Structure 1
Amino acid sequence: MRVGITGGSGFLGKEISRVLKEQGHTPIIIGRRASFDTEHEYCQTDYSVESLDKVLFGFDALIHLASIRGAEGNISDFHNNEIITENIFKSCVNSRLNNIVYASTIAVYSDSNNIPWSEKHIPSPKTLYGVSKLACEHIGEIYHRRYGLNIKSLRIAQVLGEGERKGFMMNTFIDNAFKRKSLNVIGKSVAKREFVYIKDVAKAMLLAILKPEIHGTFNIGSNTAYTNLEIANIINKCFSNKGNITYNELEDEKMESSLMSSLKAYKVLGYSAEYSLEQALIEIRNQKLEVRSV
């Protein structure tokens, strides 16, 4: 299959491109900027319908990753996500391309008193990013009803992997453990969060495009959640930094629990997470060691 990937030059896009190529498919990266990547075919677009019509013709499937995370200041920070997504769906109609995967997020949920969340739970995002992603899901529903586009909206848990944007707790912990530094755990560490390894996410997207007749929303996670203190201890164990933790339980950890059920994805798409948190961290550690040895 020829598979277009919007935002394909990013963290997740690179991994799904690798997996597609490994499985004998042809990934085509779609983005705004000119690419110097000679490994994959690349198509440049400004994401207008006119531009996309020239790009999307002749594809067998499309994976839509392109998204602005924004600064959580105003909903206007995220409007481009909705405009770009509708333009993509319009162009898919024009190009008769109806096998689409949309990368949504666990952030469409929020009721921590009712976990694990299934797709039957009413979404209630608490962030503007989550609102924007949910709006794009609804746009997809409209285009499915009107034009028959089979859009698989994958609600992805927090993604874990080497190459993810720096500054978040998980990657800060990993980098500190690799350097034999202390991991600073803030708060009482009561809330538990779900993480999913990037290779499992890429596998889910591959399984989704292999089901061109399927449409709907699917939770993609690991079915396991951890407190920040548990995460710190597991990371230190995997990186041989055991016990190197500072723990300030007097501060507010400023987070709520999050956990999804991926049972529907298992039944319909055949997805289940292959990597435990420990297995993912050991692989990340080995990747870091390989880079350091070069």
Structure 2
Amino acid sequence: MPERIVLTGAAGGMGRLMRPRLARPGRSLRLVDIAPLAPPDPDEDVDTVQASVADLPAMERACEGADALIHLGGLSTEGPWEQILETNIHGTYVVLEAARRSGVPRVILASSSHAVGFHPRQASEVPDYLFPRPDTFYGVSKAAGEALGSLYHDRYGLDVICLRIGACREKPSLPRQLATWLSPDDGARLLEAALTAPAPGFRVAWGVSANTRRWFSLAEAHELGYRPRDDAEQYAAGLDGEPADGLDNVYLGGTFCSPELDAEITP
């Protein structure tokens, strides 16, 4: 089991959910975010680093002595190209390069279904390794992150696992999330599988719970050792009466494929 883990984006939505769930006896966490982080409790084996993921010297220092890095940092929705390029694409390069220079053997990258968002919805299960077809600049950044991960595995021998994460939150809030939900507990189970799988090489796996209405294959995640336990169906009664956006039935990216989310007109 990795003893020291670097977690970027620790102040973000998923980062806050994963922090307590990743804690283990004998494991230390190094939390990184550009936003201020709450100081750890005295009994926590945690230290914090306030820095941008695009700052290579800071990320090299954060990676010192680490056994693995989980990269959740970056913009989590659409934005202007310049911001997506700097934070999401350049930031992912910096994270991988810092890991390489510091001798961190394993990096887990948070990818997204929006890397393949313009693929049409299909009746059959969406396969692992679906070819990139991004729906936004944000989706492009996730496809670029997967490509960088592949390069850093093939060229430098890093183990890199890209997790195409669905909607990781306490509970689903939209009808579409009955298919795409990743419960926080299952999110932690998925990360533990990615951290401990022996010699994974380069992998791309879907990150969703065992949802009754699940769209995505879990075959590759199962190969890593992921065993989800939660199902969004328990929340269906509160969401089935709500209208789903028409795009949810057309594209995997749903509303991210809408003209209204064009980066040129997004505030």
Normalised to the residue count of structure 2, the TM-score between the two structures is 0.75
Task: Report if the CA contact (8 A) 2:78-2:137 is conserved.
Answer: no
Match of 2:226 in 1: 271
Letter in 2 for 1:144: H
CA 1:32 to 1:116, structure 2 compared with 1: closer, same or farther past 3 Å? same
Q: Shift of residue 12 of structure 1?
A: 1.5
State whether structure 2 residue 81 is matched by structure 1 residue 75.
yes
How many residue pairs get aligned? The number is 226
Output the CA distance in 1 between the equivalents of 2:61 and 2:48: 13
Q: Shift of residue 7 of structure 1?
A: 0.7
CA 1:280 to 1:154, structure 2 compared with 1: closer, same or farther past 3 Å? farther
Letter in 1 for 2:20: R
- Unmatched 5+ stretches in structure 1: 163-169, 174-184, 227-257, 283-294
Letter in 1 for 2:221: A
CA RMSD of aligned residues (A): 2.7
Match of 1:233 in 2: none
Letter in 2 for 1:17: R
Q: Secondary structure at the match of 1:208?
A: helix
Matches of residues 107-256 of structure 1 in structure 2 within 5 Å?
107-109=114-116, 110-113=119-122, 115-161=124-170, 170-171=172-173, 193-211=179-197, 213-214=199-200, 215-224=202-211, 226=213
Match of 1:31 in 2: 33
Output the CA distance in 1 between the equivalents of 2:17 and 2:40: 16
Task: Report if the CA contact (8 A) 1:82-1:132 is conserved.
Answer: yes
CA 1:143 to 1:114, structure 2 compared with 1: closer, same or farther past 3 Å? farther
CA 1:70 to 1:219, structure 2 compared with 1: closer, same or farther past 3 Å? closer
Q: Shift of residue 36 of structure 1?
A: 2.9
Letter in 2 for 1:208: A
The percent of aligned pairs where both chains have the same amino acid is: 23
Output the CA distance in 1 between the equivalents of 2:178 and 2:35: 38
Larger Cα Rg: Structure 1 or Structure 2? 1
Letter in 2 for 1:10: G
Match of 2:101 in 1: 94
Task: Report if the CA contact (8 A) 1:71-1:77 is conserved.
Answer: no
Output the CA distance in 2 between the equivalents of 1:278 and 1:52: 40
Q: Secondary structure at the match of 2:38?
A: coil
Task: Report if the CA contact (8 A) 2:32-2:48 is conserved.
Answer: yes
Q: Shift of residue 279 of structure 1?
A: 5.0
Q: Shift of residue 153 of structure 1?
A: 0.4
State whether structure 2 residue 8 is matched by structure 1 residue 52.
no
- Unmatched 5+ stretches in structure 2: 238-267
Letter in 1 for 2:48: Y
Output the CA distance in 2 between the equivalents of 1:24 and 1:92: 22
